[in-house]
Structure 1
Amino acid sequence: MEDPELEWRPLTSADAEACAALRTAAEAVDDLGESYSAEDFLDDLATSGLDAERGTLGVFEDGRMVAMGAVHARTAADPVHAMFFWATVHPDRRGRGIGAGVLAWAERAAREISALRYPGAPLRLQSPAYDAMPDHCALLESFDYRVDHYDLGMVRPISPAEADAPPQLPAGFELVPFGSEVAEEFRVTHNEAFVPDHPGTTVVPPEVFAERTGNSAFRADFTFGLRETASSALAGYVLAYHYEADTQATGRRDVYINYLATRREFRGRGVAAALIGAVLHAAAGQGFDTASLEVLAEHPTGALSLYQRLGFEARRTFAVYVKDLD
């Protein structure tokens, strides 16, 4: 039951600074490796997958935000609408049942949003939990969530010398810098590479891909494709972000590899390694300190072993919990 002394309401753009302050306070204790700014919140609020009125929640005590949560719709229910949920409770307000209240809200909100977007489709809610936060895991389990899979947060240092070492491209391929003229080709490549082999992935329509490349953290100068010259086909692509809030919190400049995809017919030819090499080379040239990414612990395409060979090390493990909602 919701505490009557607390105010529970949807979030608006006016809450951006309060959201950032809450996430900063939580990160200082939780060490998720995820800093969050007011601008990041505004980017999230503007995405088509987020119904701000029904799918966001702020919890306030005496005018101060003490918790927040959001549920995100997917681009398809294929065959299940697998919505995402995340939440944060201020460290000095934990243990009061607020987290349980936010989770109960999320299930209600997910049902309402899913019924509007995909009437009659089966619904699943999924949420990550850092394995070093046992209370968070226990809360999800108390609501009958189960672990579906594990994601690894990986990091690799970038050497200044890599600025002088252009990526080694496989024979017969050329590097394609990102730009508006190739954006649609990148989107199609993403769908053809991700959807068949990445569990839970749904097709990305043009407006959603535009949101990803219009995000304030997006780095077009660190985003590349690799084209086979003989066929002119885009064999794969990498999409990179830089979160300034992380730099302010840690003092390090990190390039985050948000997506890396290779079409099936081009796998095993060094495409992915060349694309990562291109990111590292470009980032080193601008003085970046690290590169980071997340990957399924048991990835169907063997991506984990590739990242390990390229010098990435796992720093954090996240259990992704799921629950089917009737």
Structure 2
Amino acid sequence: MTIPAAPFTHLPADWVGRPPGPQDVADLVDLRGRHETAARGGTSGAADVAAEVTGPGAAVREHLIVRDPDDRARGWATVHDRAAGRVLVAVVVDPGLEGPVADALSTTLFDWAADAAAGLARARGLSATQLDSGAFEADPRQQAWLAAAGYSRVRTWWQMRRPVTDADSAIRVDDRVRPVRREHGGMPAEADLLAVHDVLEQAFADHFNHHEETFDEFLARLRADPGHRWDHWWLAEPRDGAPAGALVASAVLDDEGRTTGSYVDYLGVLRSARGQGLASALLDAVVGDAARRGRSSVALEVDADSPTGAADLYLSLGFVTRYVTQSWHRDLRVDET
């Protein structure tokens, strides 16, 4: 896809926008870090930025970095071709910028993201797509910019974490739960990977904003994560032996690339198998595994309005909310750009 030119009519003429390269990664890590620290008091790892901009995740993302006349990275926009009909949009504005300049930069980045997302939709042969962005609950500035760009707040998410202790290494794994099988050479069995994808697609079909993702898209996206590990995938099988639950986790890395915790990317149980304790059994598996690996925590995200009662389950198992995020959506027709 050809990246649209940045609509710099809102900014001074001496500001520059372009696609970032390897030379920009350090500045983007710093920019995102300062944004997240200001908005929620913490930050994500440097490895995630490198993976998104120049690594395996770059294939499904387009980026724009904006620099001021002193060559300081002041803004960053990303569009992620997540699935048919859904594009993830991320906009970061330097928290040190204020007033009209900050507002102008936000407008520039959101306008560019809409143009880029329209290009992704056209490439898929679509006439419309959903722009899916977000904000931290404690960041009213970002929320105001989203509203100004035509987005509406649609959901709230709890970012939860459970500390892991040495005692958790003794957690017994339910005999209905097993890791995905490994074949010769250490690669996972394709049949098990297909089963994980199938279970999750079915389990999330009735969840908020589910967009069907092909097996190849699902696999490529998860493998692009720097924390991806095949031995962090589990299946749950009731007594009849057919897979009915799945959990996909990844390693949490610090800025030095060291593993500090585990993160639950997906946990799903088929509607027909809910109420049998499979979700708890899968969570026990990932917590026990994290303890045996010497990790400090297990983290996850949960829909605060989930009708399945997932939030109550996590609370009962010792997870606590660290911070809260919001989903903001905009429906975009390609002919609007």
Check whether TM > 0.5.
yes
Query: Which letter maps to 1:296?
Result: D
Cα–Cα, structure 1 residues 90 and 10, in superposed 2: closer, same or farther, change >3 Å?
Answer: same
SS in 1 for 2:145: helix
Structure 1 position 213 matched with structure 2 position 243 = no
Q: What is the CA deviation profile of residues 131-188 of structure 1, one whole-angstrom value per residue up to 9, with x for unaligned ones?
A: 101111111122332111111111111121011222345xxx2423464102222122
Cα distance in 1 for partners of 2:151, 2:206 equals 24
Displacement of 1:283 in angstroms is: 0.3
Structure 1 position 118 matched with structure 2 position 118 = no
Question: Which range moves more in the overlay, 201-210 or 262-271?
Answer: 201-210
| Aligned residue in 2 for 1:227 | 237
SS in 2 for 1:287: coil
| Aligned residue in 2 for 1:317 | 324
Contact 1:49 1:74 in 2 (8 A): no
TM-score scaled by length of structure 2:
0.84
Q: 2:96 aligns with which of 81, 92, 95?
A: 92
Cα distance in 2 for partners of 1:72, 1:123 equals 12
Contact 1:252 1:289 in 2 (8 A): no
Cα distance in 1 for partners of 2:181, 2:267 equals 14
Cα distance in 2 for partners of 1:158, 1:260 equals 19
Q: 1:40 aligns with which of 48, 61, 84?
A: 48
How many residues of Structure 1 are paired with residues of Structure 2 in the alignment? 310
Displacement of 1:69 in angstroms is: 1.1
Cα distance in 2 for partners of 1:202, 1:3 equals 39
Displacement of 1:123 in angstroms is: 2.4
Structure 1 position 288 matched with structure 2 position 295 = yes
Contact 1:154 1:315 in 2 (8 A): yes
| Aligned residue in 2 for 1:187 | 197
| Aligned residue in 2 for 1:154 | 160
Cα distance in 2 for partners of 1:183, 1:308 equals 29
Cα distance in 2 for partners of 1:18, 1:193 equals 39
Displacement of 1:288 in angstroms is: 1.2
Displacement of 1:18 in angstroms is: 2.6
| Aligned residue in 1 for 2:179 | 176
Cα distance in 2 for partners of 1:72, 1:58 equals 15
Contact 1:238 1:260 in 2 (8 A): yes
Cα distance in 2 for partners of 1:140, 1:214 equals 28
**Percent identity among equivalent residues?**
26
| Aligned residue in 2 for 1:28 | 37
Query: Which letter maps to 1:175?
Result: R
Contact 1:227 1:233 in 2 (8 A): yes
Question: Which range moves more in the overlay, 65-74 or 215-224?
Answer: 215-224
Unaligned ranges ≥5, structure 1: none
TM-score scaled by length of structure 1:
0.86
SS in 2 for 1:299: coil
Question: Which range moves more in the overlay, 93-102 or 124-133?
Answer: 93-102
Query: Which letter maps to 2:92?
Result: T
Cα distance in 2 for partners of 1:269, 1:3 equals 60
| Aligned residue in 2 for 1:68 | 76
Query: Which letter maps to 1:176?
Result: P
Displacement of 1:240 in angstroms is: 0.9
Contact 2:179 2:231 in 1 (8 A): no
| Aligned residue in 1 for 2:207 | 198
The list of structure 1 runs, each at least 4 consecutive aligned residues, that deviate by more than 4 angstroms after superposition, is none
Cα–Cα, structure 1 residues 66 and 236, in superposed 2: closer, same or farther, change >3 Å?
Answer: same
Displacement of 1:214 in angstroms is: 4.8
Unaligned ranges ≥5, structure 2: 1-9, 183-187
Displacement of 1:48 in angstroms is: 7.6
Structure 1 position 132 matched with structure 2 position 138 = yes
Contact 2:171 2:284 in 1 (8 A): no
Matches within 5 A, 1:240-279: 240-245=249-254, 253-279=260-286
Displacement of 1:272 in angstroms is: 0.7
Contact 1:23 1:36 in 2 (8 A): no
Q: What is the CA deviation profile of residues 11-53 of structure 1, one whole-angstrom value per residue up to 9, with x for unaligned ones?
A: 234432332222223233223644131x3234324348724xx
Displacement of 1:193 in angstroms is: 1.7
Cα distance in 2 for partners of 1:297, 1:186 equals 24
Cα distance in 2 for partners of 1:27, 1:7 equals 24
